[in-house]
Amino acid sequence: RTRMFLGWYDPDRKKPARAKLADAVARYQEKFQRTPRFCLTSALDAAELAEPSRKFPGPPPVTVQARGYVARWTYYIGEADGGTA
């Protein structure tokens, strides 16, 4: 199966990871007209995404998976099954 990914890089240190993830998810939906299911990101960003915040309460809108090969502030948004949304 072909897997759809959207790569998103945002090095803004003042912007929280949840805001970056929200931007990436919105762009994925705009571009592919589908809802993503997961995000691959660095261990540091995954840890930040796991922490709730006042502005972004509750869990992230997608499953977050930490990967050692993903650079900091980088988010790969995709669909686990290759997408049949």
- Per-residue pLDDT of 16-48, as tens digits, reads 999 999 999 999 999 999 999 999 999 999 999
Query: Does the pLDDT at position 83 exceed 50?
Result: no
Q: How high is the pLDDT of residue 81? A: 56
Mean pLDDT of 3-10: 91
Instruction: Report d(CA 16, CA 31) in Å as an integer.
Output: 23
Task: Give residue 12's identity as a one-letter amino acid code.
Answer: D
Q: Tell me how crowded residue 41 is: count the other CB atoms within 10 A of its CB.
A: 28
Q: pLDDT tens, 40-59?
A: 999 999 999 999 888 888 89
For the whole model, what pTM was predicted?
0.88
Instruction: Report d(CA 23, CA 25) in Å as an integer.
Output: 6
Q: What angle do CA 44, 45, 47 make, to 5 degrees?
A: 65
